[in-house]
Amino acid sequence: MSSSVNMEDIISLAKRRGFIYPGSDVYGGLRGTWDYGPLGVALKRNIMNLWWQHFVDGRDDMYGVDAAILMNQKVWQASGHVDTFVDPLCEDTVNHRRFRTDHILKDNGVDAEGMTMEQMDAAIAEHGIKSPDGNPLSASRTFNMMFTTHVGPTSDDASISYLRPETAQGIFTNFKNVVDSFYPDLPFGIAQQGKAFRNEISPRDFIFRSREFEQMEIEYFVHPEKWEEAFEELLASTHEFLVRLGLKPEHIHELDVPEADRAHYSKKTIDIEYDFPIGKEELMGIAYRTDFDLGNIQRVSSKSMEYTVKGTNEKFVPHVIEPSFGVERALMAVLSNAYREDEVNGEKRIYLALPEHLAPVRYAVSPLLKNKPELVEKAREVYRALKQKYGNVSWDDNGNIGKRYRRQDEIGTPHVVVIDFETIEGGGTVTVRERDTTEQRRVSIAELLG
């Protein structure tokens, strides 16, 4: 099931109101890149901070890191990314446009999950599938999704580096550092948020599949025999986090990924899928990665990744559970969940029913008339006090009051505080207009600031 919201409406609102703009727009854009405007960056930070609060600060078994994006090329050789971080690519044999073979199949109603590249090519032939421009497709080849760069003034093989395609490796490479500095008891986790880059063959669906995006990942280190309970606990905590994002349980689905579709080192993977406007798609995933990553580091670096259980001689390379979130997909889920259209006084209204703790602006403060100094002065006073309390409070005296409500509704501001003549005339009360119900209440300033 997909949600009833139209993706185009969300993209248009996001651009119009300053959430998300296409990257490099003035120069005609750069596919797969997006720029966050003032409201988008606020919403994104609120989501990322909530995640950090939920998974790191809110627990006593998590350690945060912020590793460099550029890493020694050995990291990506040892992890297998140089050889296997690939997607199948085919080409329109007439105009040479390139496509991801599994996407071409999906767009033609064939599920390519678990298929080898040869099986995909066979399916294309069997179903007579052509390119979107109606031309024959070439056989597929693999395409590595890492962006290559060179570090330092020489461009040779030794200076090759990559823009990291995931944040996870920056965690694994710091496992020993964190153990040496803190010596935590198992199980414990290391968390990181930050940019990741993938040269996606066909970026699409707004920010869902971008070439530059942000991840929030945890590597949770466990005793090899105790991975199942940690997996269940992190899965339950993930569902709690999704509820805190305001997402509805009926739009969230668990996909227990079958063995054929899992990475070879993973013994269990659950993808959390969400009913996006583009359909049911992966929001995040949790994988049991065994000791694959630490084992590779140990082998290639010749440094021990073993953990010694305190007070014993028991030594082993810990196993790992990895919850991996994409910020853009979380943000897209939050936006599409919040998007609403209704009718107020016979006119169509668009609003974002964002949870108060995620809304970019929590309160907007407005003098009823901006040419009445006594109203403006009082409104400024209330504005300053609210801003001191919440931070994300904005001043709005643009246009008439109806226009202000519409604008604040569209950006998801839960409350608009209006200072009117009754406020001045000794009442000490203001009007608080609520976004979701459009109801207006008289509230004392003392209560508002209390």
**How far is 31 from 209, CA to CA, in rounded Å?**
10
Contact status, residue 194 vs residue 307, Cβ threshold 8 Å: no
In angstroms, what is the minimal distance from the CB of 65 to ligand ATP?
18
Residues sharing a CB contact under 8 Å with residue 309, sequence separation 6 or more, in sequence order: 186, 315
Minimum distance of ligand ATP from residue 146's CB (angstroms): 12
Taking the CA atoms of 400, 403, 407 and 408 in sequence, report the sign of the dihedral they define.
positive
Considering only 51, 175, 213, 231, the residue that binds ligand ATP (CB under 6 A) is: 213
Per-residue contact string for residues 329-368; x = within reach of ligand ATP by CB under 6 A: x---------------------------------------
- Binds ligand ATP (CB under 6 A): choice among 210, 296, 366, 413: 210
Smallest distance, ligand ATP to C-beta of residue 318, A: 21
Nearer to ligand ATP, 320 or 416 (CB): 320
Cβ-based nearer residue to ligand ATP, 49 or 392: 49
Say which residues have a Cβ less than 8 Å from residue 15's Cβ, sequence separation at least 6.
21, 22
Q: Does 289 bind ligand ATP (CB under 6 A)?
A: no
Q: Which helix (H) or strand (E) holds 429?
A: strand 429-434
- In terms of CB distance, is 284 or 432 closer to ligand ATP? 284
State which residue, 104 or 179, has the beta carbon closest to ligand ATP.
104
Q: Which residue's CB comes closest to ligand ATP?
A: 326
State the maximum Cα–Cα separation within the chain, in Å, rounded to a whole number.
80
What's the alpha-carbon Rg for the chain, to the nearest Å?
26
In sequence order, the β-bridge partners of residue 221 are: 188, 320
Q: How far is CA 116 from the centre of its chain?
A: 29
Among residues 282, 356, 397, 422, the one that binds ligand ATP under rule CB under 6 A: 282
Stretch that binds ligand ATP, among 179-187, 277-285, 345-353, 404-412 (CB under 6 A): 277-285
Minimal distance in Å, beta carbon 294 to ligand ATP? 19
Long-range contacts of 181-185 (CB under 8 A, 24+ apart): 182/63, 183/310, 184/61, 184/63, 185/310
Q: Does residue number 198 form part of the binding site for ligand ATP (CB under 6 A)?
A: yes
In this structure, which long-range contacts are made by residues 151-156, counting pairs with CB atoms below 8 Å and at least 24 apart in sequence?
151/70
Decide if residue 261 touches ligand ATP (CB under 6 A).
no
Distance of CA 349 to the CA centre of its chain: 28
Least distance CB 58 / ligand ATP (angstroms): 21
Q: List residues binding ligand ATP (CB under 6 A).
A: 198, 200, 209-210, 213, 215, 282, 284-285, 324-326, 328-329
